[in-house]
Amino acid sequence: MDMPSRIDSSDLETSVAEESQRGLFGKLGSRIARQRGEAAPNLQTREALLLLQNYEESRQGWFWSTDARGRLTYITDSVARQMGRSSADLLGTVFTELFLPGDSHGERQRTLPFLLTRQSKFDELPLRSAFEGDDRWWAVSGRPHFDGEKFAGYRGSGTDITAQRRSAEDASRLALYDSLTGLANRFHISKKLDSTLAAFVQQQRSCAIMLLDLDRFKQVNDTLGHPAGDALLKQVAERLLKIVGDKEMVSRLGGDEFQIILPDIDDRGKLGDMAADIINSLSQPYSVEGSRCIIGASVGVAIAPFDGQSSDDLVRNADLALYAAKGNGRGRFSFYSSDLHQSAEDRRILEEDLRDALARGEMELCYQPVVNAKSNIVTGVEALIRWTHPDRGVISPALFIPIAEEANLIWPLGEWVLRKACEEAAGWPGHLRVAVNVSPIQFANPDLPKIVANALATTGLPPDRLELEITESVFLGDSAETARMFKALKGLGVRLALDDFGTGYSSLGYLQSAPFDKIKIDQSFVRGATVQGSRNGAIIAAIVALAEALEMETTAEGIESLDQLELIRKLNVSHVQGYVYSKPVPGDELVRQTEAGSWTIEPAGPARQRNDRVSLFRKVGAVHDNHRYNVVIRNLSATGAFIEGIIDVPVGTRFVIDFGEGQLVTATVRRSMKHQQGVEFEQSLVSDGNGGLCTRHRVSPYLIAAAAQQTGALALPSFTTTSDWKAA
Ligand code: C2E
Ligand code: MG
Ligand code: MG
């Protein structure tokens, strides 16, 4: 641009429009000149104009002016170009139209039109460009100017603050989002839960939350390193988002803990399915930095308003449910229920008691026969630990082994089992093999081969009569370490069995490299095979074929019914361990049975597997015609149960069964014996994730409160009235 020509005296006569097009300084210069009564700006003014023009061209800032009606009379051309226009295009445009009206964050923005009508001055007002494709932010200042007393318009300037604005946005993003995964952070999700619950209480809506904790993440982090751990967490976040969908509702609370908010869901069938989907998806193998790794996940679920109405209560209860899910063996979900408070306490006490149980002689071993499926001859036994607690009686190892693992008690316990089993087996008549379960925690200890060798040496048991049962989870650790351990154990001459195949990752790949003598197919997998349409049968056939090729034996675990046994024989599984042959027996019975030399068992059991019934003796309420009876429930299944406590109820009678905590189910009597009725549920129960059952829906506490105000019978504690039936 040629400056001198612009400040030629002839400019004084040009129109405002032409003037503006040439820059504010042309106009400014003319005005100054006019005011001073000069024909053209003097030298100092010229210098000032040049400086201002340089400034405009540098794009560090821009200038604008309007007339009294707020329409642009001047705007720096370069900024007009940034808006995708030329300054000539923009002249006459109402100034406020250059900017977006205030959004929800822009308290101050809304004040632009207000400020202009009030004819107030303003400084550095942050405004966002209204032009499409231009997402710039400007800080705009302006001052009104007057023609004598009369308001004549505005003059002002602006600067580009897009970069500052972005970094401020980034900073607030950082305050709300987890920088590793991009998910909401703990702060953000807890605010969100607070506001959601507050709104939902008013509207009596429900809202579920899931707390999720990765299983064995620490192992991966420790063995593969933190960058790998980070990469893994990112993939976990992606998988979660795929299932949950709503990005804003998923959060990483920190470490390997996640939380999900699920508004308007209270169906425990749906939530259970979703939790199972999440667990399943997160348990698929990951590839991080060239290594393959596998982790698992446990999920705790709590639902407002049933399990708490404030976010504190809900989160605490979901946490308790998560703790229960982990305590039940990980890789599971669990719904909150009020008895979890008690079980958390029970678990703590159990851990205390477990510390002295060995010393107090409360532990024993029993032995379950492993039978050749064709000949019915017992080929070996599995040693299973039994704890007889002084107050609580026999406690299942499924319950206390995980506690022992967590409380660092598995070592003394495992060593005791190993010695005891070798010692007893060495004294048995015949050559029965004994299998001992080895926890992955024992397997990770480099001292294990020494301890096994020691047990064999002191008891004199030939090594090939000892079999160590190991679960797939040992393959999650350092693979070089694992290989060394296998080699050391094989070097002792003991046999190795892969336990619980089909419950974990079930990758056939490692069977080729690990020197197993036997694969034990888990009972859940075998049971699944009898279900119509299941592919488990085909998979078992494949495992058997592979095992045969690798010269391994196969054992099907948990076979109870004759139809399962028949299927297993058809699939050529070589061995069977299950109630259909024998339950675990005490050592002295084993000695009695084997005295004759070999031990043969005829299979016996129900013809077919029944719908999994949870043998449960639970007091519940049965409500009929405003009468509530206290009944005991037996043989609960998803579709029905037996109830006891009322006599002579006609077939076809309908009850509402109250399982407590708002769990109501309509049931119809289908069979009626004198003291016992077989009832069928109108809506099937769903899995509670821990082998138990629960109702899909619960009666909301709002409804219960409303019902209590009237004289409703539902879920009222207990009352006695006369009726057609006698209470038993
Ligand atoms: P596991 O090693 O898979 O043992 C088989 C479990 O299935 C045993 O349960 C056995 O009693 C049960 N079982 C066998 N046949 C049937 C059947 O037909 N139907 C049903 N419903 N169950 C059957 P148990 O004794 O309660 O042991 C549970 C788990 O505890 C074992 O599973 C094993 O993982 C662990 N465990 C037991 N003893 C020890 C031990 O000494 N050390 C270690 N580390 N773990 C042990
Ligand atoms: Mg076992
Ligand atoms: Mg097993």
**One domain for residues 436 and 539:** yes
Domain boundary among 166, 187, 212: 166
- Per-residue buried b or exposed e for 393-426, using 16+ beta carbons within 10 Å of the residue's own CB: eebebeebbbbbbeeebbbebbbebbbbbbebbe
pLDDT in tens, 162-190: 888 888 877 777 788 999 999 999 999 99
Q: Is the CB of 542 within 6 Å of ligand 1?
A: no
Q: Does 691 reside within a domain? A: yes
**One domain for residues 321 and 290:** yes
User: Mapping DSSP to helix (H, G, I), strand (E, B) and coil, where does residue 596 land?
Assistant: coil
Q: Does 4 reside within a domain? A: no
How far does residue 259's CA lie from ligand 1's centre (Å)? 33
Q: Is the CB of 371 within 6 Å of ligand 1?
A: no
How far does residue 384's CA lie from ligand 1's centre (Å)? 6
pLDDT surpassing 90 at residue 570: yes
CA atoms within 13 A on the CB side of 92: 6
**Which atom of ligand 1 lies nearest, measured to the CA of 397?**
30
Q: Does 370 reside within a domain? A: yes
Nearest CA to ligand 1 atom 11: 584
- What is residue 5's predicted lDDT score, i.e. its pLDDT? 35
**One domain for residues 411 and 540:** yes
Specify the amino acid at residue 708.
Answer: A
pLDDT in tens, 198-243: 989 888 899 999 999 998 888 788 777 889 899 999 999 999 999 9
How far does residue 350's CA lie from ligand 3's centre (Å)? 24
Q: Is the CB of 564 within 6 Å of ligand 1?
A: no
- What is residue 508's predicted lDDT score, i.e. its pLDDT? 66
Are 397 and 385 contacting, i.e. CB atoms less than 8 angstroms apart? yes
**Which atom of ligand 1 lies nearest, measured to the CA of 414?**
42
**Mean pLDDT on 71-100:** 91
Which among 481, 476, 557, 463 has a CA at the least distance from the CA of 519? 557
- What is residue 3's predicted lDDT score, i.e. its pLDDT? 37
Query: For residue 683, what is the domain's CATH number?
Result: 2.40.10
CA atoms within 13 A on the CB side of 677: 25
User: Mapping DSSP to helix (H, G, I), strand (E, B) and coil, where does residue 673 land?
Assistant: coil
Q: Give the distance from CA 717 to its chain's centroid.
A: 35
Spatial distance between the Cα atoms of 200 and 211, rounded to a whole number of angstroms: 20
Q: Is the CB of 578 within 6 Å of ligand 1?
A: yes
User: Mapping DSSP to helix (H, G, I), strand (E, B) and coil, where does residue 196 land?
Assistant: helix
Ligand nearest to the CA of 417: 1
- Percent of the chain past pLDDT 70, that is, above it, reads 87
Q: Does 605 reside within a domain? A: no
pLDDT surpassing 70 at residue 671: yes
**One domain for residues 162 and 252:** no
- Please state which of the ranges 37-46, 263-272, 497-506, 511-520 shows the lowest mean pLDDT: 37-46
How far does residue 436's CA lie from ligand 2's centre (Å)? 7
Provide DSSP, 552-590. Answer: -EEEEE---SHHHHHHHHHTT--EEESTTT---EEHHHH
**One domain for residues 98 and 237:** no
**One domain for residues 120 and 200:** no
Beta pairing class for 378-389 and 433-437: parallel
Take residue 180 and report the two structure tokens written for it: 């590793």
Eight-state DSSP code of residue 70: S
**Mean pLDDT on 461-488:** 87
Q: How many domains does the chain have?
A: 4
**75 CB-near residues (< 8 Å, 6+ apart):** 20, 62, 63, 64, 87, 90, 91
CA angle 236, 310, 331 (to 5 degrees): 30
Q: What is the mean pLDDT of the chain?
A: 85
Q: Is the CB of 385 within 6 Å of ligand 1?
A: yes
Spatial distance between the Cα atoms of 538 and 528, rounded to a whole number of angstroms: 11
Q: Does 545 reside within a domain? A: yes
- What is residue 29's predicted lDDT score, i.e. its pLDDT? 52
**One domain for residues 115 and 73:** yes
Q: Does 601 reside within a domain? A: no
Q: Is the CB of 396 within 6 Å of ligand 1?
A: yes
**One domain for residues 161 and 184:** no
pLDDT in tens, 340-388: 888 888 888 999 999 999 999 999 999 999 999 999 999 999 999 999 9
User: Is the N-terminal amide bond of 126 cis, ω within 30° of 0?
Assistant: no
Domain boundary among 303, 338, 373: 338
How far does residue 497's CA lie from ligand 2's centre (Å)? 9
Q: Does 599 reside within a domain? A: no
pLDDT in tens, 113-169: 888 888 989 998 988 888 887 788 999 999 999 999 899 999 999 999 988 888 887
Query: For residue 16, what is the domain's CATH number?
Result: 3.30.450.20
How far does residue 383's CA lie from ligand 1's centre (Å)? 9
Take residue 112 and report the two structure tokens written for it: 């632009």
Specify the amino acid at residue 82.
Answer: Q
Query: For residue 574, what is the domain's CATH number?
Result: 3.20.20.450
**One domain for residues 318 and 373:** no
Identify the helix (H) or strand (E) that includes residue 333. strand 333-335
- What is residue 348's predicted lDDT score, i.e. its pLDDT? 87
How far does residue 331's CA lie from ligand 2's centre (Å)? 18
pLDDT surpassing 60 at residue 104: no
pLDDT surpassing 60 at residue 422: yes
Strand partners, 304: 207
**One domain for residues 433 and 552:** yes
- What is residue 173's predicted lDDT score, i.e. its pLDDT? 72
- Residue of higher predicted confidence among 346 and 553: 553
Are 518 and 555 contacting, i.e. CB atoms less than 8 angstroms apart? yes
- What is residue 13's predicted lDDT score, i.e. its pLDDT? 36
**Which atom of ligand 1 lies nearest, measured to the CA of 401?**
45
Q: Which residue segment(s) compose the domain that 663 sits in?
A: 614-727
- What is residue 22's predicted lDDT score, i.e. its pLDDT? 46
How far does residue 506's CA lie from ligand 3's centre (Å)? 13
* Ligand 1 mutation pick, 378, 399, 437, max ligand atoms within 8 A of CB: 437
Nearest CA to ligand 1 atom 43: 437
Domain boundary among 166, 187, 220: 166
Query: For residue 208, what is the domain's CATH number?
Result: 3.30.70.270
Q: Does 46 reside within a domain? A: yes
Provide DSSP, 289-352. Answer: TTEEE--EEEEEEEEETTT-SSHHHHHHHHHHHHHHHHHTTSS-EEE--THHHHHHHHHHHHHH
Q: Is the CB of 439 within 6 Å of ligand 1?
A: yes
Beta pairing class for 466-471 and 433-437: parallel
**One domain for residues 362 and 500:** yes
**One domain for residues 299 and 387:** no
